[in-house]
Structure formats: structure tokens, C-alpha cells
Amino acid sequence: MANCVRCCHTGRMEPTLPGAPTPAPVAAAAGAPTGVPAPTGAPAQVPPSAAALAIPAVAREPSAAPAAPGWATLMVSSCNLLNLALPGRVFYSNQAAYGTDDYRQKIDWLGSMVARLNADVIGFQEVWDEAALRAAVARSDMRYPHVIAPGAENGATGTPRLGLATRLALESVESIEAFAPHERVQVPEIGEQQRFERPVLKATLRMKHGQRLHVLVAHLKSKRPKYLQDADGNPVEDRDDPVVTVRATMRSMVMRAAEAAAMRGIVLRLVQRTRDPLILLGDMNDGPHSVTSQMIAATQAIAYDRQARDTALFHAWDVQVEPALRRDMAYSHVHQGWPEMLDQIWVSEEFVGSSRFAIGDVKRVEVFNDHLHESRERWRSDHGFVRALLRVRLGLGV
């Protein structure tokens, strides 16, 4: 009798040829019907479980979290001190010198403000005596190896000077007073303006990681009308005449514009076709978007010329990366009842986070101005102090 086997597809017994191999039973696929009975004496075909079909997981090393960028911080500030002078020192003929008590109160108050600011670089305006500036910084109990006020070492004459306190290494310092010949301007009824009323302070510093940094401290001509006077300082025109006042105000504007144009020349010499960062700290005596401020910064030019970013300065308040800390309005001075942002911090492209040449950014900017509403004692300042926290990426080279 011929050997027979049950067909796994039809279930019928089928004959096989002698010597032919017996076909192996075919297992049902997972999820297929299992109603076909297994042959007598043969084990039932059980569909494989999902676990059996699963591909064994390959052991992996836990992936390391991406390293956070390394940052170095740099705190900078600008402070108008309102006629900081030694006691008994007459700085303006129409203002009394500080008495001992006034001087002590001014030094104590400024020391407390310097401690609050806790900045690595502070630019000061209205310093008559470097010794008084050193005393105020020392009163803060903060460590500042360098405290300088060029031109006020033995007391300034005529106009106050600018000062600098820094924890960074100081490579060089220069007081720039004269305009370049092509920057001189004729002021109506006064003559040729050839210099800054308050010489610009230019310093070259080294940050902690070795990056070179240029710092400018400035104080431009005020909006106060420039009335004509004789050699002894006596008025030679009627200051109650509104026509005279308009022309005197125009003279002030021309003088401030001339200083702004000369400041632009200093900025260009420091930033054009270089990658050295620059910070400008100062009382500009006008708003950040005014004509004179934009003469210095040229920020608005980048709207139609991207190449202008190389030589533009950016208002730190506008490029800070923590918008949640911004206010609807910031001010550092109240002039005739109107709040104004006269005291400003400007940075070059290297501190604008969106720039491809950025070495860091401006994290936040703060204005310390509560004292403007507390009292008007002369030992306080009539300006708010502005502070910016900058960050520098480490590992970018110098």
C-alpha cells in the first residue's frame, strides 16, 4: 500500500511516491485561523507569540546630554555723579562748595550705589577730583584695582572730567580732547569748535579670558542754552528774551552735534574692519534714537545696508535677550518734568547675539533710578545709573 500523508492545506490524505521525502508541516501564521485539526499523533501547531517574534533590543550606551555653552559674564555700568568734588572745592562760581557733612553723605551714598551695581567696568561722568572718586569707590568695599579720572588727578578746571573703575586688566588709557581738523565746526557768534567740552575717556582692557575690549566714556554737551558771555563769564545778551533763548539753544545743539560727529570718528577708528568689541558708556544728553545719538551709533543705517553692521553701535536696551525684564519705558533723568533716557550703554556687533560675528550678547539691562523720586539733596545724583549684564562665549579664541 502506498504511503499517504495528510495535506496540510486540504486536510485529505494524499499518496506519496516511494522514497519521496515527507513534507514538513507548515505552521500557521500569527493571527491565522487555527480550526484545522492536527494529524493524529502529531503535535498541534501553536502560533508564535508576539514576544517570540519581537526583535531583541540592542543594548545602547546612554547618550550624553549636550554640553551647555560656557559663558563668562561682564557687568558694565554708566553713572553721572553730579559734580563729585572734594570738600571746600569751588567747581562753579554760582554753586557753593561741599561742606564736610555734604561731602561725607555724598561719598557714603555713592559707595552704597557702587556696591549695588557691583559692575566689572563703571564709567563715570562729572568728576572734579580723582581723589573724591577714589574715596567713593573705596567706600563701597568692592575691589577695583584701577580707579582713574584723567585730567582730575589734581582737580579739573573749567569742566568736570570722566572717570573709570574696573576690575579688568588695564592696558592703556587716553583722554581725547581735540577734534580732528576736518571735524571742526563753526558755532554761530562763538566761533570754531575744536574740542570736546569734556574730553572722552578711551581705555583698552583685557577680559578675564584674554579678549581685548575697548571702552569709551563720554558726556556730550547738554541741552542747556549756550548764551553769549564775556571773558569773565558775565552775560552779554538778554536771557529773558525768547528769541535770544531760541538761538542759544540752537548753539547748544550745534555743539552737541559737533561732539557727536567727532565721537563717530573715534568709534570708526576702533571698530572698522576689526573684530575687537567696543562698549560706549555715557551721558549723551539726548535719547538713544535722537539725531545726535544716531550720528555716533549709525544703527538705523543697517535697515538698508547690512554691511553697516560692522561699524554700527547697538543700544544695549534694544538688543538684550531677556525681553521679560524690559519695561514699557525706561528713564535715567527727569528734565523739566519729562523722563528721558540720557544715560546709555552701547555695544558693537560682537555683543549682538544674532550677529554671525557675535562673541556673546547682552543678557539684560537695568536702570537704578528710585533716588530720582526720593529727594533732591545735592549729595545724590540727579541721574539714574544704568547697568548691563553682558555674556561672552568661552572657547572662541581671542
The answer to whether residue 19 is domain-embedded is: no
Predicted confidence (pLDDT) at residue 79 exceeds the cutoff of 70: yes
- Round the average pLDDT of the chain to a whole number and report it: 84
- For 366, other C-beta atoms within 10 Å of its C-beta total 18
For range 190-211, the mean pLDDT: 95
The answer to whether residue 40 is domain-embedded is: no
For range 95-123, the mean pLDDT: 95
| pLDDT value, residue 377 | 79
Query: Which pTM value belongs to this model?
Result: 0.79
Q: Which of residues 269 and 27 earns the better pLDDT score?
A: 269
Per-residue confidence band for 14, with pLDDT thresholds at 50, 70 and 90: low
Question: 126 — phi, psi (to 5°)?
Answer: 65, 55
Predicted confidence (pLDDT) at residue 156 exceeds the cutoff of 50: yes
Predicted confidence (pLDDT) at residue 2 exceeds the cutoff of 80: no
Each residue's pLDDT tens digit, 225-260: 999 999 888 899 999 999 999 999 999 999 999 999
Sign of CA dihedral 345, 350, 351, 353: positive
CA 394 to the chain's CA centroid: 17
The answer to whether residue 160 is domain-embedded is: yes
CA pair distance 60, 131, nearest whole angstrom: 67
For range 180-184, the mean pLDDT: 96
CA pair distance 161, 129, nearest whole angstrom: 8
The answer to whether residue 13 is domain-embedded is: no
CA pair distance 146, 203, nearest whole angstrom: 11
Q: Identify the CATH number of the domain in which residue 363 sits.
A: 3.60.10.10
The answer to whether residue 165 is domain-embedded is: yes
**Which stretch of DSSP H or E encloses residue 248?**
helix 242-271
Predicted confidence (pLDDT) at residue 124 exceeds the cutoff of 80: yes
| pLDDT value, residue 394 | 85
CA pair distance 139, 362, nearest whole angstrom: 29
Residue pair 78/344 in contact by the 8 Å Cβ criterion: yes
Q: Which grid coordinates are listed for 202? A: 578711551
CA pair distance 299, 271, nearest whole angstrom: 14
Per-residue confidence band for 378, with pLDDT thresholds at 50, 70 and 90: confident
The answer to whether residue 85 is domain-embedded is: yes
- Residue 389's domain comprises 71-175+199-224+277-393
Q: What's the domain count of the chain?
A: 1
Task: Give the rounded percent of residues in the chain with a pLDDT score beyond 90.
Answer: 63
Predicted confidence (pLDDT) at residue 57 exceeds the cutoff of 60: no
Predicted confidence (pLDDT) at residue 41 exceeds the cutoff of 90: no
Using a 10 angstrom Cβ sphere, with 0-12 exposed, 13-18 middle and 19 or more buried, the burial of residue 1 is: exposed
Side-chain-side CA neighbours of residue 298 (13 Å):
22
The answer to whether residue 18 is domain-embedded is: no
Question: 61 — phi, psi (to 5°)?
Answer: -75, 135
CA pair distance 378, 103, nearest whole angstrom: 10
The answer to whether residue 186 is domain-embedded is: no
Q: What is the DSSP string of 341-389?
A: --EEEEEEGGG-TTSTT-SEEEEEEEEE-GGGGT---TTS-SS-EEEEE
Q: Which grid coordinates are listed for 186? A: 563753526
Predicted confidence (pLDDT) at residue 193 exceeds the cutoff of 90: yes
| pLDDT value, residue 49 | 52
Per-residue confidence band for 32, with pLDDT thresholds at 50, 70 and 90: very low
Q: The cell 539726548 sits on which residue? A: 286
Predicted confidence (pLDDT) at residue 76 exceeds the cutoff of 70: yes
Residue pair 97/87 in contact by the 8 Å Cβ criterion: yes
